[in-house]
Each structure stands twice: as C-alpha cells, then as structure tokens.
Amino acid sequence: MTNQNVIISDPRSGFDSSLLSFSPAVPGPLPQPGRFIAVPAKKSFKNIESTDATRITALLDSMRASSPTRRSSETENLKSWIVHHPSALNMFDEIINSSKGKQIVVFLDYDGTLSPIVDDPDKAFMTSEMREAVKNTSKYFATAIVSGRCRAKVFNFVKLSELYYAGSHGMDIKAPVKGRNYRKGNNQTVLCQPAREFLPMISEVYKSLVEKTKSIPGAKVENNKFCLSVHFRRVEEKRWTELAEQVKSVTKEYPRLRLTQGRKVLEIRPSIKWDKGNALEFLLESLGYANSNDVLPIYIGDDRTDEDAFKVLRDRGQGFGILVSKSPKETNATYSLQEPLEVMSFLNRLVEWKQSSLQQKYQKK
C-alpha cells in the first residue's frame, strides 16, 4: 500500500519543504487538512489492466466513445436529456433558493469549461472576459480550479492568485497566495500532494511515452507532474489502434499506475484512491466545511473525470454538479450548460445576484 504525503506551509514563514509522511490506515472519514489516509485504489470500469487484444479493443471502444459522431437524432435525444439535466441558467433561481443560509463554494474544471477544447492543448487559452468573470466570482465565493493539468500550467492559463488550484486531477492542491480569506479554519496555506512518491516513476514513464509515440503524427504526451496525458485529438482514427498499443506497451511495465480515458485523451495516473471527488472534499474541509450544512458546493465540469466530483455531491445530498456538454451523456450532474460561454454567463449571474443581495442588505440597515 502506498504512503501518502501532505505538505503544509505557513505564509508567514514561507514555504516549508519538509515532508510529512503518514502510515497507511484503514478506510474512514476524510482526514483533517494536513493529513491523508491511504486506502486501496478503487476499481473502476475505466481502469485498463490487461495487455491482451481484448483489452486493446476495449480501449479503442472507449476512445471512440469519447469522440461521438453527430447523429440526426441527436437533437431529439438532447431534448429528452435536458428534461433530466435542465440548464443551470434556466434553473438559476432554483439554485439560488437552495443557497439560503449557506455559503456557496465554486469548483471549476478548466479545459472545456473555462476554455474551449482545442486541437493543441498548449493553446487552450481562456478569454479575458472569462478571466474577469472568474475573478469577480472569487471576490464573493471561495473558488477553486480542479483540473487534470499540471497545477503550474493551469495557473499560467488562469493567472489569478485569488483562487484555489487543484492540478493533476486533485493530486496537487494549493490555497490562494493572496486575496480574500474565505477559510474558517487556520491561516495556513495548504498544499496536498498525496502521490508525491510517484514523481520519479511519472517522469520515467513520460520519457518512454514520448519515445514510443513520436512516430504517430498528432500524438502529444503532456507531463502533468503527478499524472500524464496522451492527447489523440489530432491523431487520425486509423492510427488509434497503434497509439493504444504503444501506450499499453509502456504502462504494462508499471502496475502501480492506472490507465484511464477522458475526452480525446488517455490518462496515466498513480493507483491511489484520489480523484477530483476527493479533492473537492479536501478543499471543503480545508475551508472549514467538514460535515457542515451551511455550505452549497457548485462544481462545473465537462469530462469523465469530473463525474467523481459530481458523484460526491450527489452522495452527500449537498450542492450541485453542472455538466458542460452539447451532447447527451450519462452523468451524476444535476444541471447542464452547453459551452464555456454559458459557464461565463452563469458565473456573471452569480456575481450579480450576490452584489444585489449585499446592496439590499446594506439598504435595510
């Protein structure tokens, strides 16, 4: 079983590079910020563990499923799907009514949520208008970016120091370095890195994948520090089998890593029980909302990996997941938005509502 690591730094003294390691323990409630309990990696239908032809076929099917072709019946299917996952913009008043007496906390994926999905992942830039919307949101609500990207890379895209950042699918979490302090707990800046011991292995696998996939035009391997992404958005579909085989030939040598599949991307991650859902819970606890009824988390994301966070909210019976998608998808989210432009509109409405509420409160005094 894998030991997990959490680093705590105090902004008054600067970053403390000392590493606190904790022994594995039995599964239990989410630990306090600054602690981590290791548990066996959960089994998932997305995990791909075999190297035989059947598993390669399953991987290809999964890759194709993430890139569906448009069908003539899609409009009708979408109408039916919207009934069960209505627009968060249309249901905005209902969401706000649910927030009475509670503090809203906003969680945002990056790619496909704050920025459009693009062929070159290095060019997934958010608009200045979106940045302003996120910045304004963080003035009134604790706001976190939860992404599969490397935390530093996401920060370079967003460029807002007021936010919480959870990179590498939540395996690298950092609190704001400036801005309003929303936390009800201590004044420490929390940095959680439960997969720190995997760093040498991830670096080694990255080099192997770059070498293995360099003969496949369009393939791009991205090092997200605690995980790896093999993007195939620009790879011709006839080369997907070859790409899948190359990736599997590398990962089969590393049983402590797991291969999962997202939106036009293959993800290689440490086999620990930690995902965006765990990151969401960790952040809520860091904010002082552990087992609290006075918080309303809102998580907005577009990919399979965001489903872990949606499921946490559904299981808690607290807060709302909002899926960003133009196509019907099986999801644990409650509401939907179709594209980043609608995400921006939703965030702007949140800000306008909060400003109006504060103004009304002020006028009554």
* Catalytic residue ranges: 109
What is the rounded end-to-end Cα distance, in angstroms, of the chain? 58
Spatial contact of 335 and 86, defined as CB atoms under 8 Å apart: yes
Distances (CA, A) of 364 to 116, 356, 357, 361: 42, 13, 11, 5
DSSP 152-167: HHHHHHH--TTSEEEE
From the list 210, 295, 298, 281, the residue with the least C-alpha distance to 247 is 210
Distance CA 95, CA 147 (A): 24
Sign of CA dihedral 41, 42, 47, 52: positive
At 16, list the tokens: 């403390």
